[in-house]
Amino acid sequence: MRSLEVYSPRQLRRVDIELPPLEEGQVVVRVKACAICGSDLRRYREGLQDGGSFGHEFVGIVEQVYGDSGGIEIGDVVTTGLLKSCGTCQPCLSGNPHFCEAVQATYTPGGFSDQCIVTKCDVSRTLEKIPAELPLLRAVLHEPVSCALRIVRRAQAREGDRVAIVGLGAMGVLSGLLLMHQSNGVTITGIDRSENRRTSAELCGFTVAESGNSSSYDIVIDATGDAKAFPFSIDLARLGGTIVLAGVPEGNVHLSPLPIFRKELNIYGAKGPYPYLNDTHRSEALDFLFREDVPWEQLMHVYSFDQSKDAFADADNGMVIKAVITLHGAQK
In the chain, the domains with their CATH numbers are: 2-130+295-326 (3.90.180.10), 148-269 (3.40.50.720)
Q: Where are the beta strands (DSSP E) in 50-170?
A: 57-66, 77-80, 107-108, 115-119, 127-129, 162-166
Strand pairing category for 266-269 and 11-16:
unpaired
Tens of pLDDT, residues 199-219: 989 988 899 998 888 999 999
The percent of residues in the chain predicted with pLDDT above 90, rounded, is 61
pTM recorded for the entire structure: 0.91
Q: How many whole angstroms separate alpha carbon 273 and alpha carbon 97?
A: 10
CA neighbours closer than 13 Å in the CB half-sphere of residue 209: 10
What is the reported pLDDT for 164? 96
How many other CB atoms are there within 10 angstroms of residue 18's CB atom? 7
Cβ 27 vs Cβ 79: under 8 Å:
no
pLDDT at residue 106 tops 80:
no
Tens of pLDDT, residues 34-50: 999 988 999 999 998 77
Mutual angle of helices 170-182 and 195-203, in 10-degree steps: 20
Q: Where are the beta strands (DSSP E) in 223-321?
A: 237-245, 266-269, 300-304
Quote the mean pLDDT of the chain.
89
Tens of pLDDT, residues 218-227: 999 999 989 9
What is the reported pLDDT for 166? 96
What is the reported pLDDT for 221? 97
What is the reported pLDDT for 297? 86
CA-only gyration radius of the chain, Å: 20
For residue 95, the cross-strand partners are none
What is the reported pLDDT for 121? 59
Tens of pLDDT, residues 161-182: 999 999 999 999 999 999 998 8
More confident residue, 191 or 86: 191
More confident residue, 51 or 56: 56
pLDDT at residue 263 tops 90:
yes
Tens of pLDDT, residues 267-315: 999 987 887 888 887 889 999 999 999 999 889 999 999 999 999 999 9
pLDDT at residue 53 tops 60:
yes
Number of H helices, E strands in the chain: 10, 16
Bin 190: left if φ > 0, else alpha if -120 < ψ < 50, else beta.
beta
pLDDT at residue 4 tops 90:
yes
What is the reported pLDDT for 330? 57
What is the reported pLDDT for 167? 94
Q: If you average pLDDT over residues 242-263, what whole number do you get?
A: 91
CA neighbours closer than 13 Å in the CB half-sphere of residue 281: 4
Dihedral angle, C-alpha 111, 69, 26, 103, nearest 10 °? 80
What is the reported pLDDT for 96? 81
